[in-house]
Structure 1
Amino acid sequence: MQSEIPSGGVDVGRPEGVRFGLAGIQTIFGIDLRTLALFRILLGLYLLADICLRLRDLTAHYSDAGIMPRMAQLNHLSAGAVSLHLANGSALFQAGLFAMAALAATCLIIGYRTRVATVASWILLLSVQNRNTFILSGEDNLAVLLTFWAMFLPLGARYSVDAVLDRNLDTTDNRYFSIATMALLVQGMSMYFFSALLKSDARWIPDGTAVYYALNLEYMATPFGLWFRQFEPLMQGLTYYVYFLELVGPFLIFSPIFHRTLRTALMVAFMTMHIGFWAYLEIGLFPVISIIMNLTFLPSWVWDRADGWLARRRVDGLAIWYDKDCSFCLKACRLLRMLLFLGDVPIRPAQQDAQIGPVLEQHNSWVVTRGDAVSLKWDAMHPLVQASPLFRPLALPMRLAWVGRLGDKAYDIVAANRQFLARMSESWFPWRPIPIRAGRFSNGLAGIFLVFVTIQNISTLPFANWQLPRQFILVRQALGLYQNWTMFAPHPELTSPWPVIEGRLLNGEPVDVYRGMDGRVDRTKPKFVSAAYANYRWRKFLSNLEDQSYLPVRPFLAAQYAHYLCRSWNADREGGERLFTLEIAFNVEFTPPSGAPRVASERIVSSYDCFLLAG
């Protein structure tokens, strides 16, 4: 371990034990650089998945032809909030911004210009969330918060293109501490702790019936969740488990006593809880982003053991030789070593060896040696892949004759264009150091925002009764730092709705507008109520129309949705087939206490004339 530690100068790699004082704080609130790399890759993959899922409803959710035209959203956008997506209402413009976000997320995954990619991802994620705020959930809050804190961290210090381009980064210690690492970890646990404080209803404590009520929300419950409802004692036990894990777990995970054991056990406990949420409830990617957050607690000893396991499976005597006058060649070799998890396999200039140098010059090829065996061109890939602890199974098909021919052709193309690739690499992939150490300004800013989000969280508690200053709210909305962890708080919802939207055509015929079908609406309860919604974002929007807590904005939301339904129906219909009127209603089933019968009633939101709406 070198003398200069990237945490600000204090060695955080000391033996396990009871830690107090500065060293203990840095161990408890530090994050391994390899864990940050995992966080970067998974966050980028999450952002790509989020983009793909949003693209399903590109026109309906983000264009002026959808449920929320720009002027409608602007009239209900919080002061301080901004959105690039509000600059233009066409679906093509929105698709262009989605493509930019996908590019930034891809750069984040591979770790290319990581800081810039993180900032761009945060801006575009906040922007798309502000484009339509009526389809958001806790998943979106957590994602933008994690991306915000990621901007303060050296995410590209390990397993990245940026790391390949830093000649000296391999010598830095893996253990890292800054105020931003503390903020990221505290942010994650704040979600659980404040959620537990907001779960104040007796259905949580002392009754233990909250999970029963949650699984009876059939408009969210999965088929597995519906099946699990028969085990009432287990549901009561899970209620207590979730509540006390959220209440006590955030403190124990930062405990200086038995720190290693408690941190690992609680990290696994929180992740298994989210796996349970995913199995029981259709709540989008919330379990995924929550598990990603929990993995930021992955301790160094896990990586150290993994490195030891990988080292035992590496092949001795392996070396990579490159042309010392080819900077591009060195970068390519370093990138390949990283991708194949080859650890400290040496990369050496061929000209330094009296035997290897002439071989490289004669064949115009890089060289890979394994003991006395010498491999060139595409064949040189085989011993490297065979030595890779993860990609070793690919070594066998690489020996196929046709794969070898294609590989040699590809290598010859690269070799023939080496000068061009060298110039391109100097422009796009120059050698550059990655700043690891957090400066005073960065630490100070992260500390200010940590206090900021803590104040925001405390203000959500009923007993706080705080009136936050307008300037505070403007900053909060501008940076996406709003959070109010009220999922199933103070208790799970007690009603489960599904939409019933009947219309009348100009020719007088009834139609099922919601399903886009002719004939009267089928009002019978679906076998799986959750399947009545296209996806979780549509579920969020439509349930807002029925939710009594949305009464102040219900007329606005219902009118926007009715206008969208009328436009969509009449876009490709003429004459008497055009939609004349529609009625938005929901069948709402109240969740009774265990053993009591379930009763559904129809709740009419409003009726609309399509031609008056169009006028």
Structure 2
Amino acid sequence: MCLSVQQAYASLPESRDTDTITRMSQDQSPQPTLRDRLTTSCDWVGRATRRRLAIDRRGLAAFRISIGVLLLVDLLRRTRMFEAFYTDAGVLPREALFSDYSSIYSLHALSGEAWIQGLLFLVAGVFALALVCGYHTRIAAVVSWLLLISLHIRNPMILNAGDVLLRMLLFWSLFLPLGARWSVDAYRSEPDTHHSTTLASVATMAILLQILLMYVTNAIHKTRSDMWMGGEAVVHIFQADHLTILLGNTLAGHTMLLEGFTYAWMGLILLSPLLLLLTGIPRAAFTTLFVGMHLGMLVTLRIDLFPVVVVAGLLLFYPPVVWDWVATLATRLGIAEHLRSGLERLQMTLPDTSMKPSFFGQQNERETSVRSAVSTRGRVFFATVIPWLILVLVVLSNAEAVDYTEVPDPGDEVLDTIQSSQSWRMFAPNPTSTAQWLVVPGELADGSTVDALHEAEVDWDRPPNVDETYETSRERKYISNMRYAGNENHRSYFANHLCERWNSEHETELESVTVYGMSDRSGPYDDEPDIAEFTLIEYDCSGEFIQN
């Protein structure tokens, strides 16, 4: 019994020591420090940010193909008024271009001959086609961007927001691996098995932010408008029937529906930051809402390729789950196999002009090391430093557009050089609601009068559909810009072009023209038109070229 008590007593201190040791062990276990918690938080933020700024490489391929096709379509559409807008026989001969614009660095301005312009159009088309196929993709993108800037500088009077966005998307794509998927370049290279499906870099951040900046800047402009905030803006836009086409002409009379569209669009662009904040299926669904709205614009408004350019940019927001579904569907339908066989035929047909290592001859180890170091630093500078610098300037440019700040003068020079200044005032702050057209009576040498613009009888009545009075949306944009105060010189260029065109095609010469700007000022709720006219210019066809 004593033994038992002693054993029990002896075991008590041992048990107490064990508990003490256990508590001491727990107390001495490392506790997360502030640095550890900050590191963990930073890692989480980094992963979350990377996920939102990442772009699926298949999305980049779809974007590349879309941009290449858009460049081709844009070139084809511009040929409809090729001579009028890009040659010395048109509305902006080089003499006028150099007189009105200070810095002209355009290949298209080297000559005013039509065949030179046609050759440049052909070269641009070839490189755009190379971009579609993913053949020497980086070179194709660089040349396409340079030729696009050159084309835009040749006639700034016909540019719109779609042109600005297209050249910016093409610029940011210079820093992205556009040819990593669905391209001749990818087919010729070794399988890309060590890279992830998505890519996150400064360039991916920049190109996604470019789309977002467009929406946010435009939303700020629109919030300063009573029409947009009151739900009447789209009603007024559809009243201006020089802008409406197809379904837009039918919807113009449904004011309640158009008011609903106004609120829906305002809601979307105010929530546009969700394009970046959301991920996965929610992001795909939200992106699709924007795609649907822009496709709606395509069949209702005459705003050229702007809606399709935005849709091409929105492809980059779709997450991998969408592209997985697209790949599965393409495989089931047999489309993937046809694409692979097509790329194989292209790969065998197109010459392989990539440089081999032997091109530089034999190199020792030191020369190889130096070349590798220089190449690495060059890639880092090109892929990181330049995009960061331009992105900061682009953000400042958008902030300046809404009066939040100003871009420093050196930054302005950089933006002007690469044609990257932005304002995004599409239909903002207050959209036009007046249908606008021209009447251009011209006096002939025999005393008769003719409409010098349409080469028909002079008609002062309001056209049933004003949009039909314009051959292209570029012509509508040009005439709209020409009517603005500050563009008086362009009125004389336009009148001079009409004189020369008529006199070169008719025996009876045109002696003078008067350009009248016509407007229907009736509101969307008015039953009768309210026609106003004002004289833009009275031009003597035998006078000096520039008349103010």
Shift of 1:425: 4.5
Amino acid at match of 2:292: T
Matched with 2:386 is: 445
Matched with 1:364 is: none
SS of aligned partner of 2:440:
strand
1:350-385 deviation line (CA, Å, top 9, x unaligned): xxxxxxxxxxxxxxxxxxxxxxxxxxxxxxxxxx89
What is the aligned-residue RMSD (CA, Å)? 2.7
Q: Does 1:569 align with 2:502?
A: yes
Q: Give yes or no for contact 2:327–2:336 (8 Å, CA) kept in 1.
A: no
Matched with 1:526 is: 463
Q: Give yes or no for contact 1:82–1:478 (8 Å, CA) kept in 2.
A: no
1:497-518 deviation line (CA, Å, top 9, x unaligned): 111000011110111111112x
Amino acid at match of 2:163: D
Q: Does 1:230 align with 2:250?
A: no
Cα distance in structure 1, aligned partners of 2:294 and 2:530: 31
Shift of 1:248: 1.3
Cα distance in structure 2, aligned partners of 1:472 and 1:286: 27
Q: Does 1:581 align with 2:521?
A: no
Matched with 1:536 is: 473
Q: Does 1:40 align with 2:64?
A: yes
Amino acid at match of 1:610: C
Shift of 1:313: 6.9
Matched with 1:492 is: 431
Matched with 1:275 is: 295
1:579-615 deviation line (CA, Å, top 9, x unaligned): 0111000221114252464301112111111011459
1:592 to 519, 523, 540: 523
Q: Give yes or no for contact 2:235–2:524 (8 Å, CA) kept in 1.
A: no
Query: Relative to total residues, which structure has the larger helix share, 1 or 2?
Result: 2
1:305–1:426: structure 2 CA closer, same or farther, 3 Å change rule? closer
Shift of 1:495: 2.2
Cα distance in structure 2, aligned partners of 1:99 and 1:235: 42
1:512-565 deviation line (CA, Å, top 9, x unaligned): 111112x4x01111111100011111001112233xxx2122x20110001100
Amino acid at match of 2:284: T
1:422-447 deviation line (CA, Å, top 9, x unaligned): 9x855469799xx9999532122211
Matched with 2:48 is: 24
1:278-322 deviation line (CA, Å, top 9, x unaligned): 1221111111111111111121111222334455677xxxxxxxx
1:125-204 alignment, distance < 5 Å: 125-199=148-222, 200-204=224-228
1:429–1:228: structure 2 CA closer, same or farther, 3 Å change rule? farther
Shift of 1:149: 0.3
Matched with 1:287 is: 307
1:179-214 deviation line (CA, Å, top 9, x unaligned): 100100010111111001011111111x21001001
SS of aligned partner of 2:205:
helix
Cα distance in structure 1, aligned partners of 2:249 and 2:64: 36
Shift of 1:106: 0.6
Q: Give yes or no for contact 2:393–2:407 (8 Å, CA) kept in 1.
A: no
Cα distance in structure 1, aligned partners of 2:376 and 2:180: 7
2:485 to 542, 551, 570: 551
Amino acid at match of 1:573: H
1:67–1:309: structure 2 CA closer, same or farther, 3 Å change rule? closer
State the percentage of identical aligned residues: 32
Cα distance in structure 1, aligned partners of 2:505 and 2:497: 14
1:297–1:571: structure 2 CA closer, same or farther, 3 Å change rule? same
Q: Give yes or no for contact 2:239–2:523 (8 Å, CA) kept in 1.
A: no
Q: Does 1:122 align with 2:145?
A: yes
1:346-365 alignment, distance < 5 Å: none
1:152-551 alignment, distance < 5 Å: 152-199=175-222, 200-205=224-229, 207-249=230-272, 251-255=273-277, 259-310=279-330, 340-341=338-339, 425=351, 427=353, 439-441=379-381, 442-462=383-403, 464=404, 466-517=405-456, 519=457, 521-546=458-483, 550-551=484-485
Cα distance in structure 2, aligned partners of 1:595 and 1:527: 16
Amino acid at match of 1:66: G
SS of aligned partner of 2:515:
strand
1:607 to 513, 538, 544: 538
1:235–1:488: structure 2 CA closer, same or farther, 3 Å change rule? same
Cα distance in structure 2, aligned partners of 1:32 and 1:78: 42
SS of aligned partner of 1:582:
strand
Q: Does 1:83 align with 2:23?
A: no
Amino acid at match of 1:552: G
SS of aligned partner of 2:435:
strand
Shift of 1:164: 1.1
Q: Give yes or no for contact 1:223–1:528 (8 Å, CA) kept in 2.
A: no
1:430–1:525: structure 2 CA closer, same or farther, 3 Å change rule? farther
Matched with 1:370 is: none
Q: Give yes or no for contact 1:501–1:583 (8 Å, CA) kept in 2.
A: yes
TM-score, normalised relative to structure 1:
0.74
SS of aligned partner of 1:301:
helix
Q: Give yes or no for contact 1:157–1:436 (8 Å, CA) kept in 2.
A: no
Shift of 1:339: 6.2
Shift of 1:170: 4.7
1:427–1:588: structure 2 CA closer, same or farther, 3 Å change rule? closer
Q: Does 1:560 align with 2:493?
A: yes
Matched with 1:317 is: none
Matched with 2:367 is: none
SS of aligned partner of 1:218:
coil
Cα distance in structure 2, aligned partners of 1:197 and 1:300: 31
Cα distance in structure 1, aligned partners of 2:329 and 2:478: 49
Unaligned runs of 5+ in 2: 1-42, 359-374
1:431–1:31: structure 2 CA closer, same or farther, 3 Å change rule? farther
Cα distance in structure 1, aligned partners of 2:475 and 2:285: 36
1:100-150 deviation line (CA, Å, top 9, x unaligned): 110110110000110000000000001000000011111111011001001
SS of aligned partner of 1:611:
coil
Shift of 1:471: 2.2
SS of aligned partner of 1:571:
helix
SS of aligned partner of 1:56:
helix
Shift of 1:341: 4.6
Residue correspondences, number:
484
Q: Give yes or no for contact 1:222–1:280 (8 Å, CA) kept in 2.
A: yes
Q: Give yes or no for contact 1:214–1:493 (8 Å, CA) kept in 2.
A: yes
Amino acid at match of 1:242: W
1:325-368 deviation line (CA, Å, top 9, x unaligned): xxxxxxxxxxxx976256xxxxxxxxxxxxxxxxxxxxxxxxxx
Cα distance in structure 1, aligned partners of 2:406 and 2:325: 50
Unaligned runs of 5+ in 1: 1-18, 315-336, 343-383, 389-410, 412-420
Shift of 1:83: 1.2
1:338–1:113: structure 2 CA closer, same or farther, 3 Å change rule? farther
Cα distance in structure 1, aligned partners of 2:65 and 2:377: 21
Cα distance in structure 2, aligned partners of 1:219 and 1:57: 18
Matched with 1:62 is: 86
1:106–1:193: structure 2 CA closer, same or farther, 3 Å change rule? same
